[in-house]
Amino acid sequence: MRPGTDIRVTYRLSGEAAEADALAHAIAYEQTVELPAAQIDGTPAAANVGRIEAIVPDPEVPGAQRACIAYPAALASAQLGQLFNLLYGNISMYRGVRLLKLTLPDALLTHFRGPRFGIEGVRRLTGVYGRPLLATAVKPRGAATSELASVVEAFARGGGDIVKDDQNLVHAGFDEFRVHVDACADAVERANAVSGRQCLYLPHLAGTDEELARRAEFVRRRGLRGVLMCPLVLGLDRARALAEAYQLLFMAHPALTGAYTRGRREGIAPAILLGTLFRLAGADVSVFPTPGGRFEVTSAACTAIATALAAPLGNLVASLPAPAGGIQVSQVPKLAAGYGTEAVWLIGGALRGDTRGIAVATRALLSAMNAHFEPRQEPPETTPPSACELPGTGVTGPAQSLLRAGTDFQWFARENQRYKSTQALPFRGVRRVELIGKRGESCHFELRYFELEPGGYTSREKHLHTHVLIGARGHGTVLMGEEHIALHPDDIAYIAPWRVHQLRNEGDRPFGFYCIVDRERDRPLAP
């Protein structure tokens, strides 16, 4: 026994009962060492073979068996992709093997951060408590941008909580994406300004793999708090990494999941895929079809997904289930009873098809919903102002081969940026030019030029990432810890991790320097 360190799974085996032993044995080797027992037993690799703990008749499917197998947690390699592969990779090609249950040990769970916001965070962002959240989709693809934006605005003005792009809404180029997202973000901001509420607009994050980061960054810089993503289209761990890198609320869409969840003989139980695995991928909200709409699904499967999204899972916070897929207004009592308070109702066509218009239909639906709950509203959380890493740098356009230096350290096609100082990390008289790294250049660093006017100084701060400075214009002082170091042209300064530092110009002429930093870096802290 390796209690507490194994991944424990239950598979339904639907072949001949007499062959269940052999099939369970085959799975235990296939998913781990992928060599016949004769080549494994007695070698060190034998410790990696799945251990069959029990084979019992399936209580739900006559004639089928259930095999419980324990895999060493290390076989998941602390990675979500490999966990998915371990659970079902090669045996997806077997007949009659369905993954029904999954228990993960803390030794593995500790490697997953899970949802960034979760139920609590989504409520903080929207300010809505005591009732389910109401969501809708921006569609159809093919409608004018202004029409799509008007869906966003009408829904938000009607009191809706989350409006997300349809998963079919995918833009070929970045500019189309930007125009669409800008229009919808403007629309939701207009509506929120009127309502005083915080309806969230979530663009669909899709695109060529190369462009996903750029689009995510745009969403984040645009001040939007999250995105819709299709984990099985992007890759389960790819979706996780994008949400994590850009600190985005992540609503997961079930496109392609039916290939796994459909049927009883093969595949993966919906609660594992749309519940546990999507939650491990960081989904704050998981969308799935609910009975009564366009998809044939069972209430039991939906309840199981909702349960898996909120069940204890290491230190991961709980996520919200989002029943969807053609919900009708008449289903309100059933949804209220079935999912309770902690859910997102995703309703598209029914609101849009209402002849009174989306805003009125949204209000009416909320009112019908509220009859089942005790809703309350609190002031939503908005983005805190950031300090030294300046907000929205306004950098646009492609990478360029040459930035020609003008007079006085001005570069053609690069703006000077000046920002108001904040109380947390005050600075003064700083001119900043983003030279390289913000326009999709393929390098792991950024090059900026800073210039301090006489009397100017940068924030006194510390961080994990380092700075490399090259003196360029005039001279000034670098404070590092207790040291005061003069920096003249072509002097090179290196500021080590967590070293408190500040640049100062105590002279009477401009002090300019290049600053190179890692592209991926932590945020500065006050000393």
Binders in 460-479 for its own copies, by CB under 8 A: 465-466, 468, 470-472, 478
Tokens of 323: 């029943």
**Residue 401 interacts with its own copies (CB under 8 A): yes or no:** yes
Which of the residues 160 through 179 are near its own copies (CB under 8 A)? 166-168, 170-172
CB nearer to its own copies: pick between 17 and 245: 245
Residues binding its own copies: what is the number (CB under 8 A)?
131
Contact of 410 with 416, CB cutoff 8 Å: yes
Interface map 351-380 toward its own copies (x if CB under 8 A):
-xx---------------------------
Least CB distance to its own copies at residue 262 (A): 6
d(CA 499, CA 189): 40
Closest alpha carbon to 132 in 122, 146, 143: 122
CB nearer to its own copies: pick between 109 and 516: 516
Tokens of 56: 């019992």
Burial of 294 from C-beta contacts in 10 A (0-12 / 13-18 / 19+): exposed
Least CB distance to its own copies at residue 290 (A): 12
Burial of 341 from C-beta contacts in 10 A (0-12 / 13-18 / 19+): middle
Interface map 63-82 toward its own copies (x if CB under 8 A):
-----------xx-xxxxxx
Residue from 409, 457, 511, 513 that binds its own copies (CB under 8 A)?
Answer: 409
CB nearer to its own copies: pick between 123 and 460: 460
CB nearer to its own copies: pick between 202 and 230: 230
d(CA 403, CA 442): 16
What Å distances lie between residue 369 and 163, 195, 305, 337, CA to CA?
17, 19, 22, 11
Question: What number of other Cβ atoms are within 10 A of residue 70's Cβ?
Answer: 20
Region from 124-132, 287-295, 337-345, 374-382 binding its own copies, contact rule CB under 8 A: 287-295
H or E stretch including 478?
Answer: strand 476-480
Region from 25-33, 116-124, 157-165, 369-377 binding its own copies, contact rule CB under 8 A: 25-33
Question: What number of other Cβ atoms are within 10 A of residue 88's Cβ?
Answer: 24
**Residue 419 interacts with its own copies (CB under 8 A): yes or no:** no
Least CB distance to its own copies at residue 510 (A): 14
Least CB distance to its own copies at residue 189 (A): 25
Per the residue annotation, which of 184, 199, 230, 515 is the catalytic one? 515
Least CB distance to its own copies at residue 389 (A): 16
Residue from 21, 30, 389, 506 that binds its own copies (CB under 8 A)?
Answer: 30
**Residue 208 interacts with its own copies (CB under 8 A): yes or no:** yes
State the alpha helices, DSSP H only, in 89-173: 106-109, 118-126, 145-157
Query: Cis peptide before 140, with omega less than 30 degrees from 0?
Result: yes
What are residue 417's DSSP bridge partners?
Answer: 432
d(CA 459, CA 52): 60
Our measurement of the distance from residue 401's CA atom to the centroid of its chain's CA atoms, rounded to an integer in Å, reads 33
What Å distances lie between residue 118 and 92, 114, 199, 343, CA to CA?
31, 9, 17, 11
Residue from 2, 141, 484, 509 that binds its own copies (CB under 8 A)?
Answer: 141
Contact of 135 with 299, CB cutoff 8 Å: no
Contact of 66 with 15, CB cutoff 8 Å: no
**Residue 145 interacts with its own copies (CB under 8 A): yes or no:** no
Residue from 494, 509, 522, 523 that binds its own copies (CB under 8 A)?
Answer: 494
**Residue 458 interacts with its own copies (CB under 8 A): yes or no:** no
**Residue 434 interacts with its own copies (CB under 8 A): yes or no:** no
Tokens of 378: 């609190």
Residue from 5, 85, 386, 502 that binds its own copies (CB under 8 A)?
Answer: 85
CB nearer to its own copies: pick between 175 and 490: 490
d(CA 432, CA 224): 25
Residue from 16, 19, 22, 36 that binds its own copies (CB under 8 A)?
Answer: 36
Question: Is there a catalytic annotation at residue 515?
Answer: yes
Residue from 25, 52, 113, 140 that binds its own copies (CB under 8 A)?
Answer: 140
Contact of 161 with 175, CB cutoff 8 Å: no
Position 276, amino acid: T
**Residue 480 interacts with its own copies (CB under 8 A): yes or no:** yes
**Residue 38 interacts with its own copies (CB under 8 A): yes or no:** yes
Our measurement of the distance from residue 9's CA atom to the centroid of its chain's CA atoms, rounded to an integer in Å, reads 27
Least CB distance to its own copies at residue 256 (A): 5
H or E stretch including 262?
Answer: none
Residue from 162, 280, 361, 447 that binds its own copies (CB under 8 A)?
Answer: 447
Residue from 118, 323, 514, 524 that binds its own copies (CB under 8 A)?
Answer: 514
Least CB distance to its own copies at residue 421 (A): 26
Which of the residues 89 through 118 are near its own copies (CB under 8 A)? 89-95
Interface map 213-242 toward its own copies (x if CB under 8 A):
-----------------x--xxxxxx-xx-
**Residue 254 interacts with its own copies (CB under 8 A): yes or no:** yes
CB nearer to its own copies: pick between 161 and 237: 237
Residue 19 contacts by C-beta under 8 Å, 6 or more apart in sequence? none
CB nearer to its own copies: pick between 142 and 312: 142
Task: List strand residue ranges (DSSP E) for 272-335, in order.
Answer: 285-289, 320-324
Least CB distance to its own copies at residue 354 (A): 10
Residue 70 contacts by C-beta under 8 Å, 6 or more apart in sequence? 2, 6, 7, 8, 9, 50, 51, 53
- The catalytic residue positions are 515
